[in-house]
């Protein structure tokens, strides 16, 4: 490999234009772009010559060393990542979202016919290589194999060709879920019973239990990141902001610029950086309430307003607006506890009386999904998990300003 890179064979394009008036030896080793730029006026050429003499030797040697030979191009184009399948095994059907980290496509596996979601990884800072955020997401999803967590099937890549500037593109391949909760809730034609709600919440707490037991914080709980499969299984998705946490002391400081504003707990709004799994439980409480209200219960447009709304609401939840399910209100109350240390954990939530009184939850909510005709991604306009945090576009017409994940959204890749 080294020899092909350092070999002195020139690419076929490397010949001087016949009109060249300069002595041939002067840029014998320069690549053609450099050659072309030095054909400008001869006076500027003379000015530069003095300083060029000292560096030209080193420069020419370096250029020679870095020359892209036909052998190298062939090597790059034929290079196979040993453990990574080619994305050509999948047939892209349609784009279902545009997210911070790249586009998302619905695709079909050519071998099995199974539907998948292909999440393209944006390589914006190519010098830095594979984005740390994507790497983190892959690593965590490998640990989180569970029925109620989105299923990462594999990572695959496209061939490096001249068309994509000799760089492979990488994709995360997920099992495809037809719907996301934000979209489902925005469709008022869909009737959701108490049994459905109990079943969904049981799935959600089971997923959170697995995540938290694996010492991971999700940090982006919201209805758009809750996927619903056609066979009535709820799956938590989008681990783009998730991170491992450590129980050891001294406790680590994390960024408080996580969680979409409407689902952000009071301790984060107050600047806490030593938060725990309870931040995800707050989000679970918001999502649970949304199963009745059909839209996010606190829609502040600034951190200050969000905090005021929380203070107004969390004295007590107004029971009159609810279908008189006192146990549901009680559970939400315990999830939306202002004090994070008093907030219910996933395991305790699963033991709540809400799940032990009729009507009881079922194994799935397939009967509900059978009533849903169209895929809910049309409603969410790219706000969901498959879309991985689309720019501030919300669930369809329901709420035009879905806030960014954080007010300082441009620092996505620096999130710890």
Angle at 402 between CA 401 and CA 405, to 5 degrees: 135
Question: How many CB atoms are closer than 10 A to CB 75?
Answer: 14
Q: Which residue has the tokens 């009071």?
A: 266
Residue 119 known to bind ligand: yes
Residue closest to 133 by CA, chosen among 392, 402, 388: 388
Task: Return the pLDDT at 67.
Answer: 67
Helix (H) or strand (E) holding 85: strand 85-86
Question: How far apart, in whole angstroms, are the C-alpha atoms of residue 63 and residue 29?
Answer: 7
Task: Return the pLDDT at 74.
Answer: 67
Task: Return the pLDDT at 276.
Answer: 92
Asked if residue 275 lies in contact with residue 219, where contact means CB atoms within 8 angstroms, the answer is: no
Architecture of domain 179-373: Orthogonal Bundle (1.10)
The full set of domain ranges for the chain reads: 81-175, 179-373
Token reading at 109: 């596996």
Interval 82-140: pLDDT, tens: 677 889 999 999 998 876 567 899 999 999 999 999 999 877 766 677 788 888 899 99
Could you give the residue numbers annotated as active site?
A: 220
Asked if residue 105 lies in contact with residue 118, where contact means CB atoms within 8 angstroms, the answer is: yes
Question: How far apart, in whole angstroms, are the C-alpha atoms of residue 103 and residue 192?
Answer: 31
pLDDT at residue 366 tops 80: yes
What pTM does this model have?
A: 0.69
Tally the residues of the chain.
416
Q: Report cis status (omega within 30 of 0) of the bond before 359.
A: yes
Please list, in sequence order, all residues whose beta carbon lies within 8 angstroms of the beta carbon of residue 410, skipping any fewer than 6 positions away. none
Interval 273-298: pLDDT, tens: 888 999 999 999 999 999 999 999 99
Q: What is the 3-state secondary structure (H, E, C) of 156-222?
A: EECCCCHHHCCCCCEEEEEECCCEEHHHHHHCCCCCCCHHHHHHHHHHHHHHHHHHHHCCEECCCCC
CA 144 to chain centre: 16
Please list, in sequence order, all residues whose beta carbon lies within 8 angstroms of the beta carbon of residue 385, skipping any fewer than 6 positions away. 150, 180, 224, 225, 226, 227, 237, 238
Token reading at 191: 């009737």
Q: What is the mean pLDDT of residues 367-392?
A: 59
Give me Rg for the CA atoms of the chain: 27
Question: How far apart, in whole angstroms, are the C-alpha atoms of residue 76 and residue 221?
Answer: 40
Q: Which residue has the tokens 């450590």?
A: 246
SS3 content of the chain, % helix, strand, coil (to 5): 40, 10, 45
Mean pLDDT (the chain) is 77
pLDDT at residue 267 tops 50: yes
CA 193 to chain centre: 31
Token reading at 348: 């305790």
Interval 68-98: pLDDT, tens: 666 766 666 666 666 778 899 999 999 988 7
Question: How many CB atoms are closer than 10 A to CB 378?
Answer: 11
What Å distances lie between residue 86 and 25, 156, 158, 170, 182, CA to CA? 45, 5, 6, 9, 33
Which of 161-165, 261-265, 313-317 has the largest mean confidence?
Answer: 261-265
Which range among 13-17, 312-316, 350-354, 396-400 shows the weakest confidence by mean pLDDT?
Answer: 396-400
Question: How far apart, in whole angstroms, are the C-alpha atoms of residue 96 and residue 215?
Answer: 31
Which range among 20-24, 213-217, 390-394 shows the weakest confidence by mean pLDDT?
Answer: 390-394
Token reading at 218: 């999700």
Architecture of domain 81-175: 2-Layer Sandwich (3.30)
Helix intervals (H) in 11-113: 32-37, 42-66, 70-78
Q: What are phi and psi of 203, to 5 degrees?
A: -60, -45
Q: How confident is the model at residue 141 (pLDDT cuts 50, 70, 90)?
A: very high
């Amino acid at each position: 490999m080294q020899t092909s890179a350092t070999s002195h064979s020139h690419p076929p394009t490397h010949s001087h234009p016949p009109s060249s008036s300069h002595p041939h030896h002067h840029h014998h080793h320069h690549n053609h772009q450099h050659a072309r730029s030095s054909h400008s006026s001869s006076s500027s050429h003379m000015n530069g010559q003095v300083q060029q003499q000292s560096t030209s030797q080193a420069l020419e040697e370096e250029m020679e060393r870095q020359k892209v030979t036909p052998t190298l191009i062939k090597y790059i184009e034929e290079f196979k990542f040993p453990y990574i399948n080619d994305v050509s095994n999948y047939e892209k059907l349609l784009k279902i979202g545009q997210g911070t980290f790249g586009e998302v496509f619905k695709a079909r596996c050519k071998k099995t016919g199974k539907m998948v979601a292909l999440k393209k990884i944006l390589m914006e800072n190519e010098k830095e290589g594979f984005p740390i955020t994507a790497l983190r997401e892959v690593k965590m999803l490998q640990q989180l194999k569970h029925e109620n967590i989105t299923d990462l099937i594999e990572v695959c890549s496209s061939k490096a060709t001249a068309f994509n500037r000799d760089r492979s593109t990488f994709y995360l391949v997920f099992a495809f879920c037809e719907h996301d909760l934000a979209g489902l809730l925005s469709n008022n034609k869909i009737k959701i019973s108490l049994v459905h709600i109990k079943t969904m919440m049981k799935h959600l707490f089971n997923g959170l239990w697995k995540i938290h037991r694996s010492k991971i914080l999700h940090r982006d709980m919201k209805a758009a990141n809750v996927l619903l499969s056609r066979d009535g299984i709820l799956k938590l998705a989008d681990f783009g902001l998730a991170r491992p946490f450590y129980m050891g002391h001294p406790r680590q400081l994390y960024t408080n610029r996580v969680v979409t504003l409407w689902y952000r707990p009071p301790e984060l709004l107050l600047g806490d950086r030593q938060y725990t799994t309870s931040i995800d439980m707050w989000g679970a409480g918001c999502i649970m309430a949304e199963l009745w209200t059909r839209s996010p219960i606190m829609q502040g447009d600034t951190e200050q307003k969000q905090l005021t709304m929380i203070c107004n609401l969390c004295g007590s939840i107004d029971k009159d607006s609810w279908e008189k399910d006192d146990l549901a209100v009680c559970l939400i109350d315990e999830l939306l506890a202002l004090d994070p240390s008093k907030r219910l954990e996933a395991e305790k939530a699963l033991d709540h009386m809400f799940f032990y009184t009729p009507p009881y939850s079922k194994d799935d909510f397939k009967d509900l999904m059978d009533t849903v005709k169209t895929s809910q991604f049309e409603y969410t306009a790219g706000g969901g998990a498959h879309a991985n945090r689309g720019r501030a576009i919300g669930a369809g017409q329901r709420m035009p300003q879905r806030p960014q994940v954080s007010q300082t959204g441009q620092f996505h890749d620096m999130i710890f």
